[in-house]
């Protein structure tokens, strides 16, 4: 005798799943980290007297600033998608 398999319905995951909250928290942590790094590099640029360090910290400020802007754009897109989804 063959047993019939019972089809199970998939449970729907809510909008506020732990994975989505984790993505936002990781995104915000990275955004704040790169903003802080850009500001520290900017301060070190102002206080450096050697031209090599001034140039180095200037480049680091620009790089960290661009990365922070990229994280900000991703965060805003994620918020926009969340608000449009509801």
Domain boundaries, the chain: 20-85
Do 68 and 34 form a contact (C-beta atoms < 8 A)? yes
Alpha carbons within 13 angstroms on the beta-carbon side of residue 73 total: 6
**CA proximity to 82, closest of 23, 1, 7, 4:** 23
Confidence of residue 21 (pLDDT cuts 50, 70, 90): confident
Q: Is the pLDDT of residue 13 over 60?
A: no
CA dihedral 47, 48, 49, 53 (to 10 degrees): -160
| pLDDT tens-digit series, residues 27-77 | 999 999 999 999 999 999 999 999 999 999 999 999 999 999 999 999 999
Question: pLDDT, tens digit, for every residue of 77-86?
Answer: 988 988 898 7
DSSP 7: P
């Amino acid at each position: 005798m063959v047993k019939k398999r019972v089809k199970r319905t998939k449970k729907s995951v809510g909008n506020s799943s732990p994975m989505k909250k984790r993505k936002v928290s990781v995104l915000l942590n990275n955004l704040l980290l790169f903003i802080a790094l850009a500001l520290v590099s900017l301060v070190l640029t102002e206080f450096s007297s050697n031209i090599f360090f001034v140039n180095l910290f200037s480049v680091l400020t620009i790089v960290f600033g661009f990365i922070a802007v990229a994280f900000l754009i991703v965060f805003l897109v994620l918020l926009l998608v969340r608000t449009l989804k509801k």
